[in-house]
Amino acid sequence: MKVKICGILTEEAARHAANEGADFIGFVFAESKRKISVEKAKALAGVIPDSVKKVGVFVNEDLATIKAIAREVGLDYIQLHGDETPDFCTEVGLPIIKAFQIRSKEDLDRLSDYQVDYFLLDSPAGKYRGGNGETFDWSLTKHLSDIDGKVILAGGLHAKNVQTAIAEVNPIGVDVSSGVETDGVKDLEKMTAFVTEAKKGDTNAKL
Ligand SMILES: O=C(O)c1ccccc1NCC(=O)[C@H](O)[C@H](O)COP(=O)(O)O
């Protein structure tokens, strides 16, 4: 099971995520309480091994800005969390994680329009376009077809519900932000617990 820990803001959290076995760490460049500067993200990216993929999260950002930040920070993936079109995703020219807010079966029908590397299924927006700590109705994902191996489940996950979520949705990866925080700050123990729980079944997984 791949694990993405999003909203990393400190070197301590970045190093810990990598040491505990996270596969992706996310830097949020969009409007958010977790927004990071380009300079800070570049510094954190520099302390993370190449095996841990650096993801830049953007919401309806322009192409030139995304490309410039990706180059400056050394991003491996671009996560698009807004209303980006299939053509826009292709034009970025880097591996793409496209986020979808799931309220209904119709939201899942849109996935097949996109040629991207991963589909991140998240909850409907709250104050921000992501990172709101709410789950969505996982049973809707029974309507997914033909995208096996590309779904990353997000939204309100934490160490105590991630195994149930994996069993119901069968994603290739899981993503977390709020669920590994205490009082809005990344909590090292919660990060360890989340990665451990998420990867528990890996010997039986289809990876
Ligand atoms: O994390 C944010 O603050 C954020 C803000 C705006 C757009 C996207 C954002 N996060 C993207 C993520 O990948 C989060 O991990 C995902 O939405 C799940 O968050 P959570 O429910 O808090 O675990």
- Please work out whether the CB of residue 133 comes within 6 Å of at least one atom of ligand 1: yes
Integer Cα distance of 153 and 129 in angstroms: 15
123 C-alpha to center of ligand 1: Å? 9
pLDDT digits (tens, 9 = 90+) for 83-115: 999 999 999 999 999 999 999 999 999 999 999
Question: What is the pLDDT averaged over residues 2-7?
Answer: 98
Instruction: Provide the residue ranges of all domains of the chain, joining segments of one domain with +.
Output: 2-199
- Please work out whether the CB of residue 162 comes within 6 Å of at least one atom of ligand 1: no
DSSP 8-state symbol, 23: S
- Please work out whether the CB of residue 156 comes within 6 Å of at least one atom of ligand 1: yes
pTM recorded for the entire structure: 0.96
Question: What is the pLDDT averaged over residues 123-147?
Answer: 89
CATH of 2-199, one of 3.20.20.70, 3.90.660.10, 3.10.150.10, 3.40.50.1010: 3.20.20.70
CB 187 within 8 A of CB 177: no
CB 179 within 8 A of CB 158: yes
Integer Cα distance of 87 and 141 in angstroms: 25
